Chains A and B, each alone.
Chain A
Amino acid sequence: MQDAFHAFVLHSEATKPPIMLDAKENPDADESAPPLTDEQLMVAFARGSSDAFTSLFQRYKRPLFGFIRRHVPDPAQAEELTQETFLAVLRAGSRYQACALFRTWLYAIGFKILRTHLRKAAFRAMFWGSQPESSEPSAASTIDTEILVRQAVGKLDSVDREILMLREFEQLSYAEIAELCGLPLNTVRSRLFRARMALHDLLAAPAPQPQAKELAEFEERI
């Protein structure tokens, strides 16, 4: 039983390599020497190594873009925010101190930029209405499921939703989420538990028939 569960353990260290590292794109992958840690690469970048930053970028471009993309419906805006985050890393590279994990630091920057963007977007939507949500083409079989999942996540409390997404998609540890959101560790744990239970109830509930307007919009998007 234990071995069976270990196969599904969502430990960040267990899942981080396939998500965070892209072996094909990682330039510092060396068969003989172990790859440098994020913090070592950041220190090297602070000393002027552009290759170090390239390695960091290759490691985190996909998770960071995914993190932002799940919050921002417009792909161009998500790309811009991702670029802005790496730009901030570039500018602050010389001031980086290896007192915290690079990943936490990077997500803190991205989180701040994302919140600023969302606040501005909400303010603009207050006067000009929200922009139509664009989406990438998806397989037809997963459309309904994805819509249901996104709707269920959207119904969660905003803080619970953020914690859940940071855990499920970004595989951040509880401590990293607590530092990122400025919450106590136990609060993060209880809120994550609450979010998962609520999400399970929402997904287990009979799926409401999508309204004609929503279906039309979604079909138009794809």
Chain B
Amino acid sequence: MTATTHPVSPEDVMAWLDGELSQAEARAVSEHLDQCSECTKLAEQFRSTSQSLSVWSVPEVPSSLYESVSKLAATTASAAKRTKPARYMSASSWSWNLRTIGGAGAVTALLALSAVTSAIWFQSGKPITDQQSKVFKDKNKPLEGESRALDSLVTLTRPGVAADSNGLFHGLGDHVQNSFSIDGQALSAPAPMIARTASLIIVVKDFAASRASLDTILARHHGYSAQLAVSTPENAPRSFQASIRVPAPELSSAVGELKTLGRVENESQSADEVTQQHTDLTARLKTSRETEARFEAILQQRTGNVAEVLQVEEGIARVRGDIERMETEQTALEHRVDFVTVEIQLSEEFKAQLNAPSASVSNRIHNAFVAGIRNASATLLGIVLFFEEYGPMLLIWLAILSLPVLHVWRRYRKARGQF
């Protein structure tokens, strides 16, 4: 059916059936239908299709709908408060369930988060060494109870710390007031061990003279330089960075003299108390030494087969290694206390000078072009290398993740299609 053979289109026939045509158009279609059997058949087809849809029936409206909405209408029209009907609330049970599930999920997530946080917090605590675990094998039993059977208490070189021959020690904690020296008198509180550091930034006028003065000051105060770096860039101020060590008693006077080198731009000092650290180290060292002595006594006094002797010797070697490591730590710690680290930076007051003209414009353009080419090639090379390195892994993840995503998407489309 074309416009040449039929003056009206099939859509016009449909619109005529739907009453969507004007009076003139409807009359033209009607007259054509009287003469055209093909269009009449088409109209009949539309009509039968519409009739076939009538079998799709829906049930009657529930009576509860009328009651609830009528109540709402009366409430709203009388300008009373607008409350949701009970039916409406009950019908929204899915949303309520969703909120309940969401709330329960949030609470569960919070509980899980707190549990994980607690576990991490406990694990991040101070690790207990084997020796300490032996000492603190029974937390409920006071340390003094363990030491009650001891014959004597040994006072260490550092005040305030006492350890017995079994490795039980009395440190600076809650038990210090119950600790006694060999003569039965209470141990005095230990002097705090403080590792100090200082930092100075000084701007000097005469750079060479300042360096010489710095060496003089160091020699006068029995200090030394642990690290030293000099920078002398072109057309820029020279600078000097050093990490010097001076004895703790000489700190004030040394810093005072260093300040006279020039204008102080920044000065800072900090202190780190390492008393507890040193006490722990000393106690562990003492315990290890006693363990070593017991091993040696066993080796000398007891007899056994070769395997047992080797086992004891391995124990001695292990303890000896621990002792040496702890002695090194102790020495370094005491050195930190005895010598203060001073980070000093000397900068020269820079006076810019009129230099020779720099490279020509053409050279600069050429250099910039070359640098641009290099940067672009480096970027491209980086992209290629990235995909070479991570491409296979990305493909694997893409393949893994695409399956569930595709599955979910199909279910979504299917669900939309059902409605």
Contact = CB atoms under 8 A, between A and B. Distances in A.
A50 interface: yes
B82 to A, nearest CB: 7
B33 A2 contact: yes
Interface string A152-174: 01100010000000011100011
A69 B59 contact: yes
B190 to A, nearest CB: 65
A215 B49 CA distance: 25
Nearest to A138: B57
A130 B416 CA distance: 10
Contact of A66 (B18, B34, B58, B79): B58
A168 B58 contact: no
A6 B419 CA distance: 34
A83 B69 contact: yes
Interface stretch (B86-94, B168-176, B234-242, B260-268): B86-94
Contact of A118 (B62, B76, B419): B419
B412 A57 contact: no
A146 B40 contact: no
What's the dominant secondary structure at chain A's contact region?
helix
A19 B408 CA distance: 41
Interface in A91-112: 91, 93
B217 interface: no
A125 B415 contact: yes
A26 B22 CA distance: 32
Contact of B58 (A57, A70, A84, A199): A70
A150 B74 CA distance: 39
A199 B419 CA distance: 17
Most buried by A among B11, B34, B82, B415: B415
A143 B246 CA distance: 102
Contacts of B357: none
A146 B419 contact: no
Interface residues of A, number: 72
B10 interface: yes
Interface string B84-119: 010110011000000000000000000000000000
Interface string B48-60: 1110110111111
A217 interface: no
A24 to B, nearest CB: 13
What's the dominant secondary structure at chain B's contact region?
helix
Interface string B10-38: 11001101111000000000100110000
Contact of B61 (A61, A71, A123): A61
A77 B88 CA distance: 10
B402 interface: no
A203 interface: yes
Contacts of B57: 138, 142, 146
Given A79-B91, A168-B50, A125 B412 contact: yes
Contacts of A48: 77-79
Contact of B19 (A10, A84, A168): A10
Given A69-B58, A199-B49, A174 B18 contact: yes
A11 interface: yes
Most buried by B among A50, A77, A136, A150: A50
B58 A90 contact: no
B85 to A, nearest CB: 8
Interface in A150-205: 150, 153-154, 158, 167-169, 173-174, 189-190, 192-193, 196, 199-200, 203
Most buried by A among B53, B68, B79, B419: B419
A9 B26 CA distance: 11
A66 B33 CA distance: 34
A186 to B, nearest CB: 9
Contacts of A146: 55-57
The 6 closest A-B pairs by CB, nearest first: A11-B19, A50-B77, A125-B415, A80-B91, A122-B415, A53-B73
Given A10-B50, A11-B19, A142-B55, 7 more contacts: A11-B18, A53-B76, A66-B58, A122-B419, A173-B18, A190-B11, A192-B14
8 contacts: A1-B40, A12-B19, A65-B65, A77-B91, A90-B72, A118-B416, A123-B412, A146-B57
